[in-house]
């Protein structure tokens, strides 16, 4: 019986991941399949594992990334730090009972993609990916070439995909220089739009890159979180990087966008949108028209998918469990 991997969440009607992994398995000659498991609640995971003993790992998307943490027997340092898991490996004992190990690949994938966008040299990234500055990278230990090909949707979850297409970004004028480590962006700070699970992963990656940040929320209730009404000119000027973690602008509601003062954007700003369907969101379009550099989340999605595969396969490596 072929090994099965999959994704759990709700809804999954336009999930990117089944297509991505089907192409990967075909291209690399891997005897496995990938299925979408739309669950009404997180409690159905146990029944799924009983019903599908061939299921060796699954991705987790909205709305279960945080809830799945309560089901894990083991959580990686990344998952524990973020408080959410988007990748679960199923290790089965001699009696067939499942043991769940959870990981978060979103944070590292975002950090790597952002570092490429900002022009950081590979040695300064530290997220465990190899590959060129503009894509095609894979996490250390991942099996095979990533061969990225197509997909639109939302990168925080590997879901909501639309028609195949290329990622959209305007390259950094600082590429090839170490901007954060001593160049123009050595004092860069970020605004993180949204305060959900995706924002947690983004903040964790920013911390890893040494980029200070403020979270912007419609309902700020804790230190380090401000409201959209607090985005005064001096705040916008002090934060060159703006990351949208909200679903605003995702297909089909492509006219929507976060309520930031776009008129205060300049060519000094970098706008990163976790959304990748459409390829250029309204958030990105408005920034581009003001001269800002912009990028969508397609590369992040591809990177996190390859990191998920590496995590699932870790148990089969000489260093992993099940050796």
Classify residue 122 by its DSSP letter. Answer: G
**Nearest CA among 53, 65, 115 for reference residue 90:** 53
Contact predicate 17/34, CB 8 Å: yes
Distance CA 123, CA 203 (A): 21
Other CB atoms within a 10 A radius of the CB of residue 186 amount to 11
Active-site residue 65, yes or no?
yes
Other CB atoms within a 10 A radius of the CB of residue 35 amount to 17
Contact predicate 147/24, CB 8 Å: yes
Tell whether the torsion through CA atoms of 22, 24, 27 and 31 is positive or negative: negative
**Nearest CA among 7, 14, 8, 54 for reference residue 31:** 54
Other CB atoms within a 10 A radius of the CB of residue 86 amount to 33
**Nearest CA among 157, 134, 116 for reference residue 277:** 157
- Tell me which of 24, 65, 295, 323 is the catalytic residue: 65
Residues serving a catalytic function are: 65
């Amino acid at each position: 019986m072929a090994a099965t991997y999959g994704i759990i969440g709700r809804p999954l009607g336009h999930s990117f991941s089944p297509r991505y992994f089907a192409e990967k398995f075909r291209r690399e000659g891997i005897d496995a399949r990938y299925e979408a498991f739309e669950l009404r609640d997180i409690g159905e995971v146990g029944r799924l594992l009983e019903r599908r003993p061939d299921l060796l790992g699954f991705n987790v998307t909205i709305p279960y990334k945080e809830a799945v943490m309560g089901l894990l027997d083991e959580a990686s340092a990344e998952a524990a730090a973020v408080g959410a898991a988007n990748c679960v490996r199923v290790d089965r004992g001699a009696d067939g009972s499942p043991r769940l190990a959870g990981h978060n690949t979103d944070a590292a994938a975002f950090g790597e993609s952002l570092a490429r966008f900002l022009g950081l040299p590979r040695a300064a990234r530290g997220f465990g990916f190899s590959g060129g500055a503009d894509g095609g990278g894979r996490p250390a230990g991942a099996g095979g070439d990533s061969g990225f090909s197509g997909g639109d949707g939302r990168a925080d979850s590997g879901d909501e995909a639309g028609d195949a297409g290329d990622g959209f970004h305007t390259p950094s004028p600082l590429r090839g220089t170490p901007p954060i480590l001593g160049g123009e962006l050595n004092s860069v700070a970020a605004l993180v739009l949204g305060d959900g699970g995706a924002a947690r992963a983004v903040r964790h990656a920013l911390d890893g890159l040494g980029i200070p940040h403020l979270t912007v929320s419609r309902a700020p209730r804790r230190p380090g979180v401000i409201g959209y009404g607090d985005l005064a000119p001096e705040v916008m000027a002090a934060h060159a990087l703006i990351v949208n973690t909200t679903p605003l602008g995702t297909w089909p509601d492509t006219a929507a966008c976060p309520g930031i003062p776009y008129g205060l954007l300049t060519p000094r700003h970098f706008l990163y949108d976790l959304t990748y369907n459409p390829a250029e969101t309204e958030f990105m379009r408005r920034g581009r028209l003001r001269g800002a550099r912009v990028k969508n989340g397609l590369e992040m999605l591809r990177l996190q998918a390859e990191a998920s595969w590496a995590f699932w396969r870790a148990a089969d490596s000489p260093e992993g469990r099940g050796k």
